[in-house]
Amino acid sequence: MITKFISVSVLVLFALTALPVAFAEETTSTPTSTPRTGGPTTDQLACVRTAVEKRETALIATLESFYNAVKAAFETRKTDLLAAWSITDGKERRKARIEAWRKFTKAYKDTRKSHNNTRKEIWKTFGQEAKTCRVPATGESIGLDTAL
Residue 92 lies in a domain: yes
Q: Mean pLDDT across the chain, nearest whole number?
A: 80
Residue 136 has pLDDT above 50, yes or no: yes
Residue 140 lies in a domain: no
State how many domains the chain has: 1
Residue 112 lies in a domain: yes
Q: How far apart are CA 134 and CA 54, in angstroms?
A: 17
Residue 147 DSSP class: G
Residue 74 has pLDDT above 90, yes or no: yes
Which pLDDT does position 34 carry in this prediction?
A: 39
Residue 83 lies in a domain: yes
CB-based contacts of 97, cutoff 8 Å, min separation 6: 81, 84, 85
Which pLDDT does position 131 carry in this prediction?
A: 87
User: Which domain does 85 fall in, by range?
Assistant: 41-135
